[in-house]
């Protein structure tokens, strides 16, 4: 199969009919074999029923239904796992991404022989304070920490070669870091402007509330990209730094003990609060950071050693199955 389009869906019953119709209109005119995978991420409205209705009317649709809400990253991961296309395209279900840009992404990918082509919402139709400003800061921060410079990491409209997405494991909120992870395994990355429309139906389901989780996942990505095969480099640097602090403090205390109190009648050694407390809090910080990073590695070992996904699927249906059941 030439192309897979995968869409994470969460409470988008109003936009789904328009999205499915537009996808069918665009993809059927491309002259390529294709499939559309819609992943219901535990929607609480009629999204699943609407998805089934659309798949009955339109060909080449595959529907995946989660048992509960696992998050956008899990939905995208499920789409990758079930995809059969040589190229996989992701986009949002809220109609802010334009399906008409899909052929342009594929054209750019083939012309430049890129492994990933990322959309850039150059004229983004979102509020500045609660959507665009955090995105600008996040894009700058991700680019600085991963050395993969993109204008718009948060744009869901992206095209990937199959061999890239099949080799990338996603956890937490890491779907936005796929270009950086693809670059880590040797993939070539490009970016192009795409259209962006104002939201017509409902409200954003995956919004600014994830900011803290994204920052923490960024720290994990930085660690995995830089130190996953040589963790002693990061832990050793912390250890040497703290050893230097301890040696300096001990030297000051020893000098104070040998020469007498410098600025009071009491030796520094007899003031345990000023000696122990800063080191104790720094030790706690280091301990929690190490525990978090080791926990990330253990999580990956747990899932990947068992090939265990980060989601639970209730059912998978295709257009042909729905049509056969209706007959």
Query: What residue ranges do the domains of the chain occupy?
Result: 3-205+313-326, 232-306
Topology of the domain comprising 3-205+313-326 = Spore Coat Polysaccharide Biosynthesis Protein SpsA; Chain A (3.90.550)
Give the integer Cα–Cα distance in Å for 142 and 169: 18
212's tokens: 């803290």
Output the pLDDT for position 22. Answer: 96
Give the integer Cα–Cα distance in Å for 267 and 254: 10
pLDDT band at residue 232 under the 50/70/90 scheme = low
pLDDT band at residue 287 under the 50/70/90 scheme = confident
285's tokens: 């910080």
Output the pLDDT for position 211. Answer: 65
3-9 vs 87-92, strand pairing mode: parallel
pTM of the model: 0.77
Output the pLDDT for position 313. Answer: 85
189-193 vs 34-40, strand pairing mode: unpaired
């Amino acid at each position: 199969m030439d192309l897979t389009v995968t869409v994470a869906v969460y409470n988008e019953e109003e936009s789904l009919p328009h999205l499915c119709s537009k996808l069918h209109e665009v993809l059927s005119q491309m002259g390529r074999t294709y499939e559309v995978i819609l992943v219901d991420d535990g929607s609480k409205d009629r999204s699943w029923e609407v998805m089934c209705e659309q798949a009955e009317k339109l060909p080449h649709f595959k529907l995946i239904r989660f048992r509960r809400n696992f998050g956008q990253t899990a939905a995208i991961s499920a789409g990758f796992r079930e995809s059969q296309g040589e190229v996989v395209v992701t986009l949002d279900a809220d109609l802010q991404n334009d399906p008409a840009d899909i052929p342009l992404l594929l054209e750019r990918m083939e012309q430049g022989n890129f492994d990933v082509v990322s959309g850039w919402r150059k004229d983004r139709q979102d509020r500045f304070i609660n959507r665009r400003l955090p995105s600008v800061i996040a894009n700058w921060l991700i680019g600085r920490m991963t050395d993969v410079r993109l204008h718009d990491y948060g744009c869901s409209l992206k095209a990937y070669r199959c061999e890239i997405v099949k080799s990338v494991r996603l956890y937490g909120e890491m779907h936005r870091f796929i270009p950086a992870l693809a670059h880590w395994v040797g993939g070539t990355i490009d970016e192009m402007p795409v259209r962006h429309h104002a939201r017509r139906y409902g409200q954003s389901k995956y919004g600014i509330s994830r900011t803290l989780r994204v920052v923490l996942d960024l720290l994990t990505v930085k660690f995995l990209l830089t130190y996953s095969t040589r963790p002693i480099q990061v832990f050793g640097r912390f250890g040497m730094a703290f050893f230097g602090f301890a040696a300096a403090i001990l030297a000051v205390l020893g000098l104070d003990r040998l020469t007498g109190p410098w600025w009071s009648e009491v030796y520094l050694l007899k003031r345990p609060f000023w000696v122990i407390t800063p080191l104790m809090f720094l030790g706690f910080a280091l301990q929690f950071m190490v525990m978090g990073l080791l926990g990330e590695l253990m999580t990956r070992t747990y899932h990947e050693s068992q090939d265990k996904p980060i989601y639970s699927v209730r059912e998978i249906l295709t257009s042909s199955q729905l049509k056969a059941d209706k007959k």
